[in-house]
A and B are shown apart, each in its own frame.
Chain A
């Protein structure tokens, strides 16, 4: 197992295009939905990388490609130096043990006809080497206890649990194979506020206990800030800004990040009339036909001619300490009232 701080996941130029077909008898490809279009980042063991961005920007697609549930169109996903995107057969199976997923919807992501014991223990069916047959019940009960569920409830069914408890079942299942990386795709969005906090605290405790690395996808920017060490902001299939949580939240440099952050309501009515709000006009363009140059330019108030002709690369820009993909990057705190 990697020690804390060592890079365990290296994503390079990752691309996932879904073909757009026309015709029923003779399918003809007329284009592609560029769901993920050149994404690169590293993740260290024990670290949390938050991924934020509007609906449809490619967050879940990224998660599926990382998990090797979808094959990338191009690019690589190296886990401890080996590319899972190219792995096959026994090697793929072994690598999958190391990266697990917790999904958004605690109401539909668990099979209603399986008992909790079967759900949490299912990964052992595929990876029999982790828990020999006679040892399974004990292992599953241990896992239930780790996530704060009553081990005696091993024979109950999902509908006998609340949303927050079901999410814990999903987490216990994700932990079964002792992975180093867990991809959480909107793990708390379907939960009530008072239950969200319970699940977030659990994820943090487990991270410390098992030195887990998280990719934490959510559209709630406050939750992402709370749990993340670093944050990637996505727009239309690309990462437009990447940095430590304080860099992204207190000193965002990309206009899209600034707009996104300024739109987040702060639960404090004092100073609400002084807060700066950047209200974005229009909708995001279609990922099948993204704008030339900078993809954000159709909604950007700072756009110049160069933005249409030259794609801004994700790199450290003058006057900033972290990477952003804007020709005119400039840090600007939009979250705090001065």
Chain B
């Protein structure tokens, strides 16, 4: 199987040292009436089987667009991918034919969407919507497909699944609808699950139920998971490693323990210091000053420089590369040493 043939399907299982999924120098831009929006500017991250990567960052930093590029669900145009690779078991998905891609999308790489609560179709029963996965992708008959749907509803712990399979979405609570969305995402045993803000709309008690369910499913099947969120608490709870995005770039990536112990980028550091904690009664909260960048008019040099307490003259002109701090850690800051040591600017 050659890597370059657009019809070849990605290999099963791992290929030597190649990660399960690798995003490499990805660029995504949108042609809009106001101008060219560079939403993703050279993002790289990777994921191994059984691993959880958390992607963190402010609203508009490009987290969802990166995920949409991995899934191959961007509308092109207006979107364009001028550069970059998305390798799945070594095969660049961006160069596959649409037909080959369909074999991957939803089956081997699945996604739970940010607005999942409105993603269910109100006029079909949940059982019909889940069983559709098996009818369309596995060619199952109606009877067998519904049986599988009940099994899945059990697996995501919907009480009385057998009785509820013919209920409509509005008859379920928000947390249960989110679990039905998860059921549909894992129906075909994907190798990678992308969860885009899977719990933001939910109460903490329900959020805890859903996160525990995802962790259990992951243990059972050794799925790789990309968890997109801006909740630093959820990240600390479940992630193995973290990629922090700002203005369409990765500004820091590291293991979860390293980043919470000592962040190496001023934005990450500011984020960690600006959240109140339930286990501590803090004093004044640190607030990152200023506003997130405007993608149509990005600051020169380092995109974070207008808000950065560590800024030096060269930050305004020289865009920092992603410096390697260790084999598993990078920071896009000229002064990462000072940040890591905790010296203020």
A-B interaction: yes
* B288 surroundings in chain A (CB, below 8 A): 194, 197-198
Picked from B58, B204, B260, the residue with its CB within 8 Å of the CB of A219 is: B204
Query: Does any Cβ of A come within 8 Å of B173's Cβ?
Result: yes
Interface string of A236-266 (1 = CB under 8 A from B): 0000000001100100000000011111111
B217-256 interface (Cβ within 8 A of A): 230-237, 239, 256
Cβ B287 vs Cβ A222 within 8 A: no
User: How far is the CB of A144 from the nearest CB of chain B, in Å?
Assistant: 17
Cβ A335 vs Cβ B286 within 8 A: no
Cβ B209 vs Cβ A266 within 8 A: no
Which of A55, A195, A219, A269 has the most chain B CB within a 10 Å cutoff?
A269
Query: Does any Cβ of A come within 8 Å of B285's Cβ?
Result: yes
In the complex, A268→B176 CA distance in Å?
28
Picked from A246, A249, A267, A280, the residue with its CB within 8 Å of the CB of B260 is: A267
* B206 surroundings in chain A (CB, below 8 A): 54
Cβ A193 vs Cβ B208 within 8 A: no
User: How far is the CB of B134 from the nearest CB of chain A, in Å?
Assistant: 28
* A227 surroundings in chain B (CB, below 8 A): 276
* B257 surroundings in chain A (CB, below 8 A): 269-270
Cβ B203 vs Cβ A54 within 8 A: yes
Query: Does any Cβ of A come within 8 Å of B98's Cβ?
Result: no
A264-314 interface (Cβ within 8 A of B): 264-270, 272, 277, 279-280, 282-283
Q: Given A197-B288, A267-B236, A268-B236: A283 and B271 within 8 A (CB)?
A: no
* B232 surroundings in chain A (CB, below 8 A): 193, 267
* A204 surroundings in chain B (CB, below 8 A): 284
Cβ A221 vs Cβ B204 within 8 A: yes
Q: Given A268-B236, A270-B257: A277 and B281 within 8 A (CB)?
A: no
Cβ B204 vs Cβ A226 within 8 A: no
Query: Does any Cβ of B come within 8 Å of A201's Cβ?
Result: yes
Q: Given A192-B230, A201-B284, A279-B212: A268 and B260 within 8 A (CB)?
A: yes
B185-219 interface (Cβ within 8 A of A): 203-209, 212
Query: Does any Cβ of B come within 8 Å of A11's Cβ?
Result: no
Cβ B236 vs Cβ A223 within 8 A: no
Query: Does any Cβ of A come within 8 Å of B306's Cβ?
Result: no
Query: Does any Cβ of B come within 8 Å of A322's Cβ?
Result: no
User: How far is the CB of A149 from the nearest CB of chain B, in Å?
Assistant: 13
* A55 surroundings in chain B (CB, below 8 A): 174, 203
Cβ B274 vs Cβ A197 within 8 A: yes
Picked from B207, B235, B236, B281, the residue with its CB within 8 Å of the CB of A263 is: B207
Which of B206, B236, B278, B281 has the most chain A CB within a 10 Å cutoff?
B278
* B235 surroundings in chain A (CB, below 8 A): 267
Q: Given A280-B205, A283-B175: A269 and B285 within 8 A (CB)?
A: no
Cβ A267 vs Cβ B281 within 8 A: no
Cβ B274 vs Cβ A269 within 8 A: no
User: How far is the CB of B144 from the nearest CB of chain A, in Å?
Assistant: 30
* B159 surroundings in chain A (CB, below 8 A): 282
Cβ A267 vs Cβ B277 within 8 A: yes
Query: Does any Cβ of B come within 8 Å of A87's Cβ?
Result: no
* B175 surroundings in chain A (CB, below 8 A): 283
Closest to A256 in B: B205
User: How far is the CB of A236 from the nearest CB of chain B, in Å?
Assistant: 13
Closest to B204 in A: A263
* A262 surroundings in chain B (CB, below 8 A): 208
Query: Does any Cβ of B come within 8 Å of A92's Cβ?
Result: no
Cβ B275 vs Cβ A283 within 8 A: no
* A54 surroundings in chain B (CB, below 8 A): 203, 205-206
Query: Does any Cβ of A come within 8 Å of B72's Cβ?
Result: no
Query: Does any Cβ of B come within 8 Å of A4's Cβ?
Result: no
In the complex, A267→B208 CA distance in Å?
14
Interface string of A178-218 (1 = CB under 8 A from B): 00000000000000111111101100100000000000000
Query: Does any Cβ of A come within 8 Å of B308's Cβ?
Result: no
Cβ B278 vs Cβ A261 within 8 A: yes
B254-299 interface (Cβ within 8 A of A): 256-257, 260, 270-272, 274-279, 281-282, 284-289, 291-292
Picked from A197, A219, A279, A283, the residue with its CB within 8 Å of the CB of B285 is: A197
Query: Does any Cβ of A come within 8 Å of B102's Cβ?
Result: no
* A192 surroundings in chain B (CB, below 8 A): 58-59, 230, 292
Query: Does any Cβ of B come within 8 Å of A22's Cβ?
Result: no
Q: Given A221-B204, A226-B276: A265 and B234 within 8 A (CB)?
A: yes
* B233 surroundings in chain A (CB, below 8 A): 222, 264-267
In the complex, A197→B208 CA distance in Å?
24
* A200 surroundings in chain B (CB, below 8 A): 276, 285
* B230 surroundings in chain A (CB, below 8 A): 192-193
Q: Given A219-B203, A267-B272, A270-B257: A283 and B173 within 8 A (CB)?
A: yes
Closest to B259 in A: A269
Cβ B278 vs Cβ A221 within 8 A: yes
In the complex, A179→B246 CA distance in Å?
39
User: How far is the CB of B234 from the nearest CB of chain A, in Å?
Assistant: 5
Query: Does any Cβ of B come within 8 Å of A138's Cβ?
Result: no
In the complex, A249→B280 CA distance in Å?
9
User: How far is the CB of A285 from the nearest CB of chain B, in Å?
Assistant: 11
Query: Does any Cβ of B come within 8 Å of A162's Cβ?
Result: yes
Cβ B285 vs Cβ A201 within 8 A: yes
Query: Does any Cβ of B come within 8 Å of A317's Cβ?
Result: no
Q: Given A261-B278, A265-B233, A267-B275: A283 and B176 within 8 A (CB)?
A: yes
In the complex, A283→B288 CA distance in Å?
38
Closest to B59 in A: A192
Picked from B58, B203, B212, B231, the residue with its CB within 8 Å of the CB of A194 is: B58
What are 20 inter-chain pairs, A to B, with CB distance below 8 A?
A: A197-B286, A200-B276, A201-B285, A222-B277, A222-B278, A225-B278, A225-B281, A226-B276, A260-B204, A263-B204, A265-B231, A265-B236, A265-B237, A266-B278, A267-B233, A267-B260, A268-B277, A269-B236, A277-B208, A280-B209
Q: Which residues of B does A touch, CB under 8 Å? A: 58-59, 159, 173-176, 203-209, 212, 230-237, 239, 256-257, 260, 270-272, 274-279, 281-282, 284-289, 291-292
Q: Which 6 A-B pairs have the closest CB atoms?
A: A265-B233, A226-B276, A197-B274, A263-B208, A197-B287, A194-B288
Starting from the known contacts A259-B205, A263-B207, A282-B159, 4 additional A-B residue pairs (CB-CB under 8 Å) come to: A192-B59, A196-B274, A226-B277, A266-B233
